[in-house]
Each structure stands twice: as structure tokens, then as C-alpha cells.
Homo-oligomer: A and B are copies of this chain.
Amino acid sequence: MQGPKERKLQRTTWVVFSDRGYQMANMNDVSRLAGVSRGTVSNYINGLKVRPAAQERIENAIKKLNYVPNAAARTLKTNRSSYVVLIIPRVDTPFFSELSYCMQQVLKENGYKMILCNSNSRPQEEFEYIQMAKTQKVAGIITMSYADIRELVPPDIPLVALENKVADFFPLITSDNYHGGSLAASKLYSLGARKLLFISKAPVKDVSQIREQGFRDYCEDNKIEHDRFVAQNKANFVDDFRYFIESEVTDKKFKYDGVFSDSDEYVSDFWYLLQQRKIAVPEEVQLIGFDGARVYPRQQVVVSSIKQPVTEITRQAFKSLQQQLIGKNNTQNEMYEPLVLPVSFIQGQTTKQAES
């Protein structure tokens, strides 16, 4: 007798390569043609064991009828679809696109489909997606939220928070942002930088704040000179960076020789502005960003960075979702400690090669 996995593979093959029409047969048709009860057909469809004789008749009936199991009917029955909602600010940046790619691959391996939701960092859009998740009876929600969605999520929908905590009763998966900041400071120092600068865009809060804190604490503990510049012009922070560089250049030399930012984006803008001012990177100024996502999957690293372990984040997020799915009725009774995953330094073109 075949195991459930083999049967599943066969089912896919039948439908994909069937040369029959597409009139939709239902489970009753299969039951009638196979001469077995509807319950037996249902067991078969759901991967449970059925008698070998019944199995063969069901398989033949499915083939003849070109029957495709109906996901909507199954959702009604099990009260849960195989969709997982991923809520992120927006997919069109290197880090979030890499995260979306890896998350979809992990979900697919496990038989789930991913509904991609761009919130544009707007609370109202996050609320709408959560509401949609309820209506659609999704299997779970994985979210990088900035709004307070705690009250909106019903206890029977598993949720995993990425980066920002939603509530103590939902698991949180995050990179070690604090260590990332201190690692950047220690790298810049060990590569010879002596006047360090943290750059960002207002408001510096959530993980950005933690990253800066790690950076500052390392500098203070080790008596390293350090400063900060935060662009206040949110819509056009590159202009703020430009004015700042102008104001800190004397005799063609920039006042700082090591720059850290909580984002690769700011580092690449800053790098470009320094280049325009003919200040050599990494010879005169070294830069380290955060995220370490590549622009193209196989491209060399461009900006030296503190890399978030994206693959591990997505694997842990799925694992945590799965654990809630198994014991899903008492999720909100459990309290979760954040799962903090290690970051690492990756060498790009904006820092000097370490001497070996």
C-alpha cells in the first residue's frame, strides 16, 4: 500500500497532465463512481489511510472525472485555509524582498501559500490586512508591524511577530540588533577608524534605536570618540545628509573616519555623497550599514554591513507558526520570550580589508 506522500504526488500528476475537459466534478461524483462512501473519499483526500481496494477505485474515479479537491470546501470543513498572510512595510527594498522570497519558499515547502501584504508602514493598512486575515480564515499571520494590532487578532489565528513585539502572548523573532550596533563600532575601530559617527533618519525608534544603543554603548565602554547625525527632513533626508557633509568638511577632509547606520540605504546614499565630494571610501572614511541584503541574489556585497540571518528568521517564523497551529486553542495563555538570532559582519566595498 502506498503512503500518503506518494498518493499526493500522483494526484498532482493526474490533474496537471489530464487531457480531459475542466467541468468540475465534486466529491459526491467521486463517491458515486467509485462505489464507496463520501467519508472514505474524504479520508483519502485528506491523506488518511483507506483500504487498498477502495483506494484504487477512488483513484480511478478521480482520474476519470478529473476531480480537483476544492480548497474552499475544505476550508469550510476544517475552518482554516492554507494561506499565510505576510505583512511587511513594502516589498521593494533588498531586505524585505529577500525576506519575502525566503518566507514564500519555506511556506511552499510546507504546503502553504503566501498572501503578500504591503502596509506602507500605515496602521490603517495593517488593520485592514488583519481584518482580511480573519475573513479569509487564514492559517496564520507573520507580521512586521508598527501599529498596535494586539486587540485585533483573534485567539484562534496564530501570529508571529518579526522585529517588533506585538504582545507577550505572540512569539517574536528578531535579529540581535543591539549586538549588531556594537559589532559595527568594534569593526570600525579595529579597521583603524577613530572618530565614529552614527547616521539615521528621524524618528530613531524601535530596532533603529536598539542598533544605535549597541553602537553607542560600545563606544562609551571603550572610550571611542563618537557622534550622531539624524536627518530631520523625512521626505528628503539625502539633502540633509548633503548639508551635513558640507558642514563637516574642512580642507577636503571629512571630520569622521567611521560611519555606522541602522540601514544599508542610508549608507549607500552617504557613500554616493562622499564620492561626489571626492572623499575616498574606504581609504578616508569607512561605512557600515545594517541588513546586508544583496540587490541581486548572486551579486557581490556592495555595502559593508551587519547581516540579518534572513533564512534563519523565516525558518524560525514558520516553526513558531506551526507550533501554534498544533496547539492553537491556547496560544494566548502562553507567554513568549523573544527569539534573538545572531547577526554577522559582511565585508563589502565600504570598509578596508582586515589585516591577517
Contact = CB atoms under 8 A, between A and B. Distances in A.
Interface of A: 12, 15-16, 19, 22, 24, 68-73, 75-76, 79, 81, 83, 90-94, 96-98, 100-101, 104-105, 108, 113-118, 127-128, 130-132, 134-137, 151-152, 154-156, 238, 265, 268-269, 272, 293-297, 299-300
Nearest to A154: B22
Given A91-B100, A93-B297, A295-B295, A134 B76 contact: no
5 cross-chain pairs, A with B, having the tightest CB-CB distances, nearest first: A22-B154, A72-B75, A97-B97, A92-B101, A116-B116
Nearest to A127: B16
A101 B91 contact: yes
**Most B CB atoms within 10 A — which of A92, A116, A131, A154?**
A92
A280 to B, nearest CB: 13
B297 A90 contact: yes
A116 B131 contact: no
A299 B263 CA distance: 13
Contacts of A72: 72-73, 75-76, 81, 136-137
Contacts of A76: 70, 72-73, 76
Contacts of A68: 134-135
A14 to B, nearest CB: 10
Contact of A97 (B93, B131, B134, B269): B93
A128 B128 CA distance: 30
Contacts of A90: 101, 297
A90 B101 CA distance: 7
B94 A92 contact: yes
A121 to B, nearest CB: 12
A105 B81 CA distance: 23
B104 A97 contact: no
